[in-house]
A and B are shown apart, each in its own frame.
Chain A
Amino acid sequence: MADAKATPEAVKAEVRKLILEEFLPGTDPGELTDATPLITGGILDSLGTVKVVAALEDRYGIEIQAHEASVTHFNSVADIVSLVQAKLKTRQ
C-alpha cells in the first residue's frame, strides 16, 4: 500500500523496525545505527534482501529493480531510506 506521507524519518523508523524484527530479533535496537553494514556485516543475505525489497514495495507502493537489490542501496538503513525516498520522489 502506498504512503503519501512517507517522510525520511518515518521511512527510517519503518526500515529499522523491519530489520530489527526480521533479521536482528533480540538485539538491542541501539546497536542498529543508520550506518550499520547490513549486507557486508552479514545481516542481510540474498533472501533477506528480497524480503526487504518485497516489504518496501508493499509498504510504499514502489517498484525496485533487480539491479537495485545491491550493496549500494541495501547496505545500511540510510542507503535503504535514500532509495525509498528517491523512488517516492520519482513517482510524484
Chain B
Amino acid sequence: MSAAPGATAGGRPLRARLPGLALAAVGIAGFAGGVAADRLAGHGTGFGLARAAVVLVGLVLAVAGVELASDAGAERAREWRDALVGPLTKAPARLAAVLGQLVLFALVVRLFQVESPAFYQLLVPLTVFGFVVHHFLPARQRLGFFIALSVVGVVMVLGFTNALWLLALVLAVVSLAHLPVRFWLRVALILAAAVALAVLRAHPQRAPWSIAIWPVLGSILMFRLIVYLYDLRHATGPGDVRFTLAYFLLLPNVVFPLFPVVDFATFRRTYYDQDAVATYQRGLQWILRGLVQLLIYRLIYQYGTIAPTDVVSLGALVRYLLATFGLYLRVSGDFHLVVGMLHLFGFGLPETNHLYYLASSFTDFWRRINIYWKDFMMKVVFYPVYFRLRKRGDTAALVTGTLIVFGITWMTHSYQWFWILGRWLLSWTDGLFWAALGVLLVANSLLEKRAGRRRPPGSASATFRGAALLAARTAGTFTVICLLWSMWGSPTPGDWLDLFRVPTPTPAELALVFGVLLAIGAAAVLADRRERRLGAAGRAASGTLAFGPRAAVTAAGLVVLWLAGSPWATAPLGPGAQRAMREFRFPELSRRDLATMQRGYYENLINVSAQNGELWKLYAERPTEGADIWSAGVLKDRPDFLAKEMRPLFGIYQRGLTFRTNRWGMRDQDYAQDPPPDTYRIALLGQSYVAGDGVSDGETFEALAESRLAREPGRRTHVEILNFAVGSYSLLQQLLIMDRVFSFHPDAVYLVGGPGDPGRARLHLVQQLRRGVPPPWPYLQGLLDRAGVNASMRENAALIRLRPYSDSIVDWTYAQIVAECRQRGVKPVWIYLSLPQPSPDTGVGTAMAAQARAQGFVTLDWEYVYAGHDLKTLQASPWDFHPNAEGHRLIAERFYRDLTEDPELAVPK
C-alpha cells in the first residue's frame, strides 16, 4: 500500500489515526461479538441472519477502520465516502429499482419455498443484505467482501464445524495448485488428493467430517479445479488470490450441488466489465427467468410425470416423453438463479442455457443447452485434441475431438454423481445416450462443414420457405432429443423400447402429436425472428431494452408471481384453487419418485439422477452404508415363491436403533406357539413400516398397543399381537405365510395394507416369474397366461400387461385370505395405513378399504392417523419416510382405541 500524498515521512500522528483505530476496534468487537453470541446461544447449525449481519458489518468496519488509520488514511476516507455517497447521488432510482426487485425475489422464493429452506430462509436474505453492503463498498474492497459473504453463507447453511472442514479441504486442495514445484507434479499431487478424497467419499463414515459437506465439496472442486488448473497453466500474468478464493467459494454453491461449470478466465474477465447497475439488472432478469422455469418444472414434476408402467397409449407416451425432457427445466432454472445471483456481485457471466427446446439441429442443441459445460469441454478437451490432430486433416480432428468430448461427458456424468451421491451411476442407457448424441453431432458438424458458409443467426426465418424449413428442423430435432432423453432415463435399452409398445393411436392422439410439433416449430420461428431483431450485441446482452423497461418487465414478472402465490390473492378463486395453489407452493415428491423411493427401501435401488427431480437431493444426504436395515442380513433368500423371510434370532444395531427377531423370525418379543389361557391372539401382517423399520425394538405401534392393553386395569383377557410383518412383502407373500400364521392359533388376522399394494403384488408376481418361479396358484398362472406375460419378458413390459388385472389380483388374494380365516374361525381384519409422507392422492384408504370389505374383511381406515402433524417430524429421516418413534406412537394410539372401542373387532375385555 503506498503512502497518501502529503503524508509525512514518519507517517500520520497517532491523533489522526485514532478515529480509524476506534472504528476498527468497534468492527472487531462486532465481529467477535457476533461469533461469540452465536456460539454462546448454542445455535445448532451456524449463524442466524441477524448474527451473520453483525459479523459482516463488524468485518467491514474493521477493514474501514484499519484503512482510515493507515498512512493513506485521508485518501482512503475519500474513497469510502465516495463509495457510500456515490450510489445515492448518481442514479439512485436505478439502484432503488434493483433493490426493490431483489426484495420481491426474496418474497417470491419464500412464498413458493423455492429449492430448500437453506436457500429461501438463509441464503436469499443473506444475498439481499450482502448486495446492499457490497454495493456501498469501495470497488477495491468488494471482492474481499464477496469472499467473506460466501464464507458466512457456508457457515449459515452447514454450521461452524462442517464449514471449517469444507473450507479447510477446499483451501488445502487449491493450495496444491500453487506449490512452487513443476506444474505436472502439482497435478499429480492434486490427483493423489482426489483419490484419497474419493476413497473417503465411497466410505463416508471413515471421514471425520459430516456427510453433509460431500455434495458441496464435490460440486466446488470436481470441475472447477480442472478449469482452474488449465487457466493456471496458460496464465500470462500474476494471479490475484482474491479471484481464486471467490471462484472456489461462490456464494450460491452451498445450496446448489448441481452447479454450472463457471469458467475461471470468464469469471475474471466479466467482473464489473460493464455498468454495475446494468449488470445487476441482467442478473435479476435471469433470476426471474430461473424462477419461472423452476415453477414450470414443479408443474411438470407434480402433475406431468408418469411411471414407464403407466405408458399404455400414444397419449401417455407423448406425456412421458415431454415430461421427461421437461424435467431439465430444473437444472436450467437453478443455473439461471445461480448466475443471476452472481451478477448481483458484479460477475457478468454469460447465459447458461438458451432456448434449448427450440434447437434446429443437434449442433444447435449442443450450443444452447448447458452452455457452460459445452464451453468447458471445448476448452479443455475439444480444442486441445483438435489443434493436436488438425495436421492430419480437419475432418479427422473434428470427428475425433467431438467423439472424445462425448466419451468424457459420459464418464464425467457418472463422476459427478459419485461426488454428489457417493455412487457411480453407470448404465448402458447413459452410455448409449451420449454415444448417440455424439454421433448425431459429428454427422451434423460434417454436414455444416460441407455446406461451407454459415447462415447468420436469426436469418433462417427471413422467408416463408426458410421459416417452414426451420420449423420442420426444430420439430424434428425436438422429437429426436425427446426420444434420446427418455432412453437416458430408462434403466435398460429394453425398458426404453418397451415404452413404444403402445396400441394403434387414435385420431385424437395423432392430432396431439401434430399439435405439439406445430407449436414447437412456430415457437422456433418466432424466436428466430427475435434473434434477428436483437443482433449480435443484443444476443450477447440478453436483450436490447434500456434499463428502465427491463427493470419494469422484471419487476412486473416478480409481482405477478408474488400475487399468484399469495393466499389472499387466490382467495376469491374458491377453495379448490386455494388448495391447488397451496399444494403447488409446498412441493412434495411426485407419484413416480415416491414409488421409486418405496422400492429403493427394499431393493437398494439408487437409480437416481437429475431426472428423478427431487429424489437425488434426498439421497445425497443418505449414508452409503448402514442406511437400509433390510440389506443388513435380516432377510434370507428362499428358492420358492415366498422369495425371502426374516432370520430367527437375528440382531443388529444400526443408525442408533436395535432390530432383533425372535426364535420364529418375527420382529417381536418371544411368544409360545400355543396361546396361554385367557389370551386373545392377533396375528399382524404387513410390510416394513409394520415391522418397525425406523424404530427400535419395543417401539413398534403393535408393541406399544399391546403393552398398553396389558397395563389396562380390570382387563380379564390378555391380548397378544404377533408381528408377522416383513419388509417389502407383497399381498401374495402374505397369503403364502397364512399356514405359518395359523400354526400360532390366532383369534384374528390383521392385514395392514397401503397404497402400493396392487403394484407390489404385480411386481412380485413378475419378479418371481422372471427368476423361473411361477405362482403356486392355478388362478394366478391362468391370469398370467391371459395377460400374455411370460418369464422371458422384461419387467416393465410384463407390468404394463398385468396392469388391467391389478384389481383381480388384489380381490382374489383378499378372498383367499378371508376364506382361509373363516375356515378356521379366525376374524379377518384389513387396515389401511400409509407412511407419513405427502400423498398426491386423498381418499385412497377409503377406496381400498371398500375393496377389502367387499371381499369379507372387517376394515379400519387409518389414512388420517397423522392428520394435524408435520409429516417431516414423524419420518425416520429426510431420506426415509418410515414412521419414527413418534409416528408409531400416534399409530399405536389409534390401534389401541380401535381395539378397545370398535365393536366390529370384538376384542374381549
Q: Which of A36, A42, A43, A72 has the most CB of B within 10 A?
A: A42
Top 5 nearest A-B pairs by Cβ distance? A41-B536, A37-B540, A66-B387, A66-B383, A40-B540
- A40's nearest neighbour on chain B, judged by CB, is B540
Residues of A within 8 A of B (CB): 21-27, 31, 35-38, 40-43, 45-48, 50, 54, 65-67, 69-72
Cβ distance B361 to chain A, nearest Cβ, rounded Å: 11
Residues of chain B from 809 to 845 with CB closer than 8 A to chain A in the complex? none
Q: Which of B44-52, B446-454, B503-511, B654-662 contacts A (4 or more CB under 8 A)?
A: B446-454
Distance between B869 CB and nearest chain A CB, rounded to angstroms: 52
Please, how many angstroms separate the alpha-carbon atoms of A2 and B741 in the complex? 93
B135-162 contact mask (Cβ, 8 Å, vs A): 1 or 0: 0000000000000000000000000000
CB of A90, distance to nearest CB on chain B (Å): 12
Q: Is B600 an interface residue (CB 8 A)?
A: no
Q: Give the distance to chain A from B339, nearest Cβ to Cβ, in Å.
A: 14
B366 to chain A, nearest CB (A): 9
Tell me the minimal C-beta distance from A63 to chain B in angstroms. Answer: 10
Chain B residues, Cβ within 8 Å of A41: 457, 535-537, 539-540
Residue interface bits B451-488, CB-to-A below 8 A is 1, else 0: 00111110100000000000000000000000000000
B531 at the interface (CB under 8 A from A): yes
A67 vs B383: C-alpha distance when bound (angstroms): 7
- With the chains together, A43 CA to B540 CA distance in Å? 10
Query: For residue A50, which residues in chain B have a CB less than 8 angstroms away from its CB?
Result: 383, 386, 390, 394
Sample of 13 A–B contacts (CB below 8 Å): A25-B453, A25-B455, A37-B536, A42-B536, A45-B363, A47-B363, A54-B390, A54-B394, A66-B383, A67-B379, A67-B384, A70-B265, A72-B269
Known interface pairs A45-B367, A47-B448. Does A36 touch B387 (Cβ–Cβ under 8 Å)? no
B230, B363, B448, B456: residue with the most chain A Cβ atoms closer than 10 Å: B456
Taken together as a complex, chains A and B put the C-alpha atoms of A66 and B380 apart, in Å, by 9
Q: Does B254 contact A (CB under 8 A)?
A: no
Task: State the Cβ distance, A51 to closest chain B Cβ, in Å.
Answer: 9
Among A46, A47, A67, A71, the most chain B Cβ lie within 10 Å of the Cβ of A46
Which applies to chain B's interface (DSSP): helix, strand, loop or mixed? helix
Query: With A45-B363, A47-B398, A72-B265 given, is the CB distance from A40 to B350 under 8 Å?
Result: yes
A45, B457: Cα distance in complex, Å: 11
**A71 adjacent to B456 (CB under 8 Å):** no
Contacts A42-B531, A70-B379: A23 and B539 contacting too (C-beta < 8 A)? Answer: no
Q: How far is the CB of B564 from chain A (nearest CB, A)?
A: 33
Which residues 261-275 of B have a CB within 8 angstroms of A?
265-266, 269
Count of B residues near A, CB < 8 Å? Answer: 35
CA distance A26 to B234 in the complex (A): 38
Q: A66-B384, A66-B387, A69-B387 are in contact. Are A42 and B265 (CB under 8 A)?
A: no
Answer yes or no: B378 CB below 8 A from chain A CBs.
yes
Contacts of B266 on A, CB cut-off 8 Å? 71
Q: Which residues of B contact A45 (CB under 8 A)?
A: 363, 367
Task: Select from chain A the residue with minimum beta-carbon distance to B454.
Answer: A23
Q: Which residues of A contact B416 (CB under 8 A)?
A: none
Residues of chain A with a CB closer than 8 A to B539's CB:
37, 40-42
Q: Are B382 and A24 in contact (CB under 8 A)?
A: no
Residues of the A chain whose Cβ atoms lie less than 8 Å from the Cβ of B445: 47
Known contacts A37-B537, A69-B383; A48/B265 CB under 8 A: no
Closest to A63 in B: B387
Q: Are A26 and B459 in contact (CB under 8 A)?
A: yes
B235 to chain A, nearest CB (A): 10
Q: How far is the CA of A71 from the CA of B456 in the complex (A)?
A: 19
Contacts A40-B350, A45-B363, A47-B445 given; indicate if A67 touches B230 (C-beta within 8 A): yes
Could you list 20 further interchain pairs (A-B, Cβ under 8 angstroms) beyond the known A25-B455, A31-B535, A71-B265?
A: A21-B453, A22-B454, A23-B454, A23-B456, A24-B456, A26-B456, A27-B456, A35-B537, A38-B536, A42-B367, A42-B457, A42-B539, A46-B383, A50-B386, A65-B234, A65-B387, A66-B383, A66-B384, A71-B266, A71-B269
